[in-house]
Amino acid sequence: MDDFQLLLVETSISMDELRQMAQKTFGGLVKAVVDVNIELMVVDAELHSDEEELLLEHGSMQEDLWGINLYPDKAAEEFIEYDSMINLRPAFGNSSRSVDDPCIRERIQQIVSRLVTA
């Protein structure tokens, strides 16, 4: 699939834009990586690691980056899925593909809620 555009979201992205990305690629989801320190995210890549790399090039720190999947057509409680291979980091206290720390999950949810508009 070469329909990916790697978009750095610093201010906002609409739900309609996410829907269009999802339809062009995975059909129902958009991969994203969120920087919980500087409060931005990258969307629209085949791999979370590609988004992670872009953020690292922009000065993000590894321990602040978390991979998620966004489901623009699902209900609010199912909109964010905390699942990515980049989250598997035992050295930083995360021993699964999920985001184990509920405080970090809440931080991700707040950032995504601010950046994704109706």
Percent pLDDT > 70 in the chain is 98
pLDDT of residue 81: 97
Residue 2, pLDDT > 70, answer no
Q: Where are the alpha helices (DSSP H) in 1-118?
A: 15-24, 48-57, 102-115
DSSP 3: -
Distance of alpha carbon 56 from its chain centroid, rounded?
A: 14
The tens digit of pLDDT for each residue in 54-109 reads: 999 999 999 999 999 999 999 989 999 999 999 999 988 899 999 999 999 999 99
Q: How far apart are CA 21 and CA 16, in angstroms?
A: 9
CA gyration radius, the chain: 13
Domain boundaries, the chain: 7-117
